[in-house]
Amino acid sequence: MATSTLVQFLQAGEAGDTSNRGQVETFLSAGTIASGDWVALDTTQTGANKALFVVSTPATAGRGNVVGVALGAVTGTAAAPAQVEVVIGGYIAVAKVAAGTTAASSLTTSAVAGTAVTYATGTHTGTGPCGVALTGEVGGFAECFVYSRF
């Protein structure tokens, strides 16, 4: 069931599992997704399943259909798809970013599957920004704010 944006949690200083104005949706995956991967709609599916299944953002065409960041790791198959929770808008504590990403950098998907890089106008045709880094990169990850596109 889809999450609602009508009721917002507005208590500051709560634990890291509380996300003010964050939205999480459950998708399916017929492959492997790592925790913190940026994910995109799986356009290899047929019909409406293209909006139900996600994959780690591909390193090839189709990177522009990013929907958010995976909250946990999953491995599914075509016969037994796995459920994956995805932050589709708002704060995420651990998102994959390229080395050297700095706080306040606008982000877009990259040629490295599941990873975001700093967005520069005119250099990422068709992908557009998908979020912003709230902290600098440490060990390949950063706290981020995901732009809602779903």
Residue 63 per-residue DSSP state: G
For residue 62, pLDDT beyond 90: no
Helix/strand number for the chain, H first, E second = 0, 11
Token pair of 112, please? Answer: 């490295």
d(CA 89, CA 131): 9
Token pair of 144, please? Answer: 């981020």
Instruction: Determine which helix (DSSP H) or strand (DSSP E) holds 87, and give its type and residue range.
Output: strand 82-96
pLDDT of residue 111: 83
Percent pLDDT > 70 in the chain is 77
Q: How confident is the model at residue 36 (pLDDT cuts 50, 70, 90)?
A: very high
Task: Say if CB 33 and CB 56 are below 8 A apart.
Answer: yes
Q: Which residue has the higher pLDDT, 68 or 109?
A: 68
For residue 14, pLDDT beyond 90: no
How far apart, in Å, do the first and last CA atoms of the chain sit? 14
Per the listing, tokens 């909250």 go with 71
| Percent of the chain as helix, strand, coil, to the nearest 5 | 5, 40, 55
Mean pLDDT of 4-14: 56
pLDDT of residue 1: 44
Mean pLDDT of 132-148: 96
pLDDT tens profile 74-123: 999 999 999 999 999 999 999 999 999 999 999 988 888 899 999 876 55
What's the chain's average pLDDT? 85
d(CA 59, CA 54): 14
d(CA 50, CA 149): 15
Q: Comparing 2-11, 24-33, 139-148, which segment has the lowest mean pLDDT?
A: 2-11
Instruction: Map out the domains of the chain with their CATH numbers.
Output: 23-146 (2.40.300)
d(CA 42, CA 25): 15
